[in-house]
Amino acid sequence: MTTVEGKALVVLSQEGVARIRDLEDQFALAVRQRELLDTYIRERLTPGKHFYHIGDGQKNNLTKEGAELICLPHGYKPSYQKLAGPDSPTEDGSPFQITVLCRLLRGDVFGGEGIGSARSYQTSRIGEYKPRQRVPGLCHNATLKMAQKSAYIAATLNATAASEFFTQDM
């Protein structure tokens, strides 16, 4: 660091100048991407189909169909990994939970990821458990798909910065 008239002066190397220019370019790209996403959402996504609203003053909730439309121009494809839960239906029909990681990839390039989970049962208003499906195999499959859907929406919000516009239904 050099001083001029008692004030610190930072002298940048050619590499430092190049890094700052690169950072400026990245910020300009981020601003333009946000503008494009905002326009795309307003012009292409349909309320009640691609997103819905619950409550006052909160963000809209993104649906899987909406997440698919947002991932489409990015070229993202999902890849799933089960993190927790049974590999097959429980024999006694006891409740279980499945947790899934979704990675979004453009070819072999990582775009983002999200985690989602689902329970095999729903809780009634009086606290009783009701299975998602009566047939154990169908219940396991439906629970796995719900966890994948939740993970996909989370990954979409993370990878595309769509969390500015949407949240995930809890």
Going residue by residue through the chain (170 aa), what tens digit of pLDDT does each one get? 555 566 766 677 888 888 889 999 999 999 999 999 999 999 999 999 999 887 766 888 999 999 999 999 999 999 999 999 999 888 787 889 999 999 999 999 999 999 999 999 887 778 787 888 888 788 899 999 999 999 999 999 999 989 888 888 65
DSSP per-residue string spanning 27-68: HHHHHHHHHHHHHHHHHHPPBTTTEE--SSS-PEEEPHHHHH
CA distance linking residue 6 with residue 11, whole number of Å = 15
Evaluate whether 165 touches 119 at the Cβ level (below 8 Å): no
Strands 97-106, 109-119: pairing kind: antiparallel
Strand partners, 16: none
